[in-house]
Structure 1
Amino acid sequence: MNRLLFKQVDNSPLIVFRVLFGLLIALEAWGAIATGWVRRTLIEPQFTFNFIGFDFLQPLPGAGMYVYFGLMGLFGIFVMLGFKYRFSVIAYTLLWTSVYLMQKTSYNNHYYLLILLLIFMCIVPAHRYFSLDAKSNPSLKSISMPNWVVLLIIGQMWIVYTYASLAKLYPDWLDGTFAELLMSGKAHYWLIGDLLQEKWVHVSITYVGILFDLLVVPLLLWKRTRVVMFWISVFFHLFNSIVFQIGIFPYMSLALTVFFFPKEYINRKFLKFKAFYSHSEIEVPRLAPYFKGFLLIWFSIQLLLPVRHHFIEGNVFWTEEGHRMSWRMMLRSKGGSASFQVKNLNTGKTEYVNLSDYLTLKQRRTLLKPDGIWQFTQKLKKEYAAKEIPVEIYARIKVGLNGRTPDYLVDPKLDLTSIEWNYYTHNDWILPLAE
């Protein structure tokens, strides 16, 4: 085990990835400002649907979130340059994780993946070559790294891709229903909009999606298929970037392929000025037993989180319980309507809530999910409690899953002020999905 984990290998892939990673996370932060994402998601809303239990994480007032993301971008550049590397990558990790937990309206599995990659970059020695830190402190300089660096990132990405593939093995994906729904919203795209409506495109997306996710890591690891799989990956990720416009993540996925190619090739192709480490010393650190324990816990969590929905009652596509952090990416479409009524127990009068007074148009879609319903109810409940007005709150929320006829998600006669949120198991106030 010590040889597998702590054998020293050339660190060219890690150095190249650090440069690409730093640039991409800087673009992610600054791009969020430039595209209006920060304004729409964190500045315009009166409140955000934060992860339950993290209410203390709230957007900064005024233009504070612009400064916040501007600073994140600067830390990204510092990571790229290897300047004050450890501080910069830890700072970006904390800032990004806080934003992730601060809002769910724009939830994306890729945001969670970036947290994992940031944690990875916090613990690896990515600043020991071709960095300002190594230039100012030559004692840091090294051309090698422990082999666990490569094993950790490959293992993590194998888990991500494999679970993403397995999650697609359900009827609405396999018969092309979801692919057709997904592409129907892209009909207005210039040049490719009509093409994306073709049946053969839907079939291709359905089965290429399953096979790519299932096979990409094994075929990148196998020497005979590595180059072909790389170019397939280029096409796949560029297609995703153009059609789905999901930010830096297709390019991050491509950047990660440096860990699959021979280290000699990466060194020769990108770092010709760097000596290649060709020895095979084993350097077991003093804290090796603790590090092995960390790896065991890390991979146990990564293997168990994506399957937790199997142990929770109900259909995960409907209840959303166990959906997040499970690599269930672009698997379902939901539409519907939501309205809330507040009954004043002092007067007996009932009034409808004007949702536009509280939520942006995009935030209203969060009301089609159980945790969003509970959180919005809590906001209304606190608002009336502050006025010392006892109330009951009811909602008529109908949701259509993957184009089906909308059905009630909660009983419209249920007083929502009486419900509680169970984060880890099933919330029995959610009505079951009609078969």
Structure 2
Amino acid sequence: MPAVLEYSPQSSLPRQTEARSSPIPWDGRKSRRSHRHEGASRLAQLHEDAIMAAVLQAEEEAHLLDRSIRSAMRENEARRMRDQTSSPAPPAPRFTSLAPSSLRASDRERNPPKKPKSPAEALRDHSYLFIGERTCWRCKNIIHRKPTSKNDALSSLHAACSFCGATQCRACSKPAPCMKFQCRGGLQCPLARGCCAELRAISLFEILCDFDKTYLDAAANLSGTDTWPVPQAEREDFVELVTSRADRSVSSKLNHVLLDALHGVNAYLSPESPTTEVHPAFPPMLCSSLVFEAVHGFLREESHTNWVVNGDIYSEIMKLVKLLFNRASLRDFVTEPLPAIRHSSGIQAWMWHRGHSVWEAHTRGHESLHNAVFSGGSQQAIARLDATFQRADLKSITASLRRDFQEIQVRSWADPALP
């Protein structure tokens, strides 16, 4: 407050007094509004400061991450260049008094040779193709797989999305030209004609799974054994009963599923063209299945009557041997001994790891298909069929058998490794 000079009558000297200011009017409502405005402005400023701090922190973290990634890439590139340009130092000489044979033995102990995979183990390397999940091409939903039931082998060539209902190829996930509620699969499905090599391998896998399940169940029911899987001896006795036709109901059921399996394999192998290339899963699949065991059982049967009754099965067997012989990559199936499966729970249980899945085999327990064809009475049985069959359709079966047998014989003569 400013000071003023005041003259007093008692003294001639001026004295300093404090000037009194006039009172200033105060409006309480305006003061409260200003305080609220200042508080809101301060809160807004604090919020903006917090956002700016978070942005700066995120930018700093991204910058540090980018620097670390670039540093790691430079280190990897420098290490790769050093490995390419620098030559390894020569190994120091080792002095030992061991004999050469002992040296080889020690090397084998340090680096033991890898045990070759069995056909069933090699088949499991392709497990994703047969049992893996797929992604819907439309909604990206996961399509789960589940084992197919009996007599339903070709019903799952297309995969249907449970969320949007779109259908697609089970192998390559390409959109299928059929709808979920209009196509139930099977041979009527447009994909049954073969969308890709992988789908053809899947269809053959399902056919062989159906055969293995039917074959094992029928053998177990006939033998009455509690041992599972059914031993090899019990299965061979079952095949012998089927070929002898002692029980017509059992024989007709197995003959039907065997004929379907052979027809599926032959359709997979023919015709030979780039579009029908053999998938890498085909050889281990065929060796792991029990279908060759049944084929050997039919070829061991020399009864003329059995060839007459099951002429269509023998025709498919001869066609199979011919097609395998024609493929250079599959010729060993004909010329080399095949595995004799001691225990098998079927390739479907083996692939899905269901229950007590097992697969054991003698590596070269079965004779080759070539020896099975020519050591039996195949040629004599085919010759007898000409005199037995009088109908035109049966004559065509005989002509096909003779033609395939002669082609196999010619190829056998041209192969120096065969007797």
Q: TM-score, normalised by structure 1?
A: 0.24
* Bigger relative contact order (CA 8 A; separation at least 6): 1
Q: TM-score, normalised by structure 2?
A: 0.25
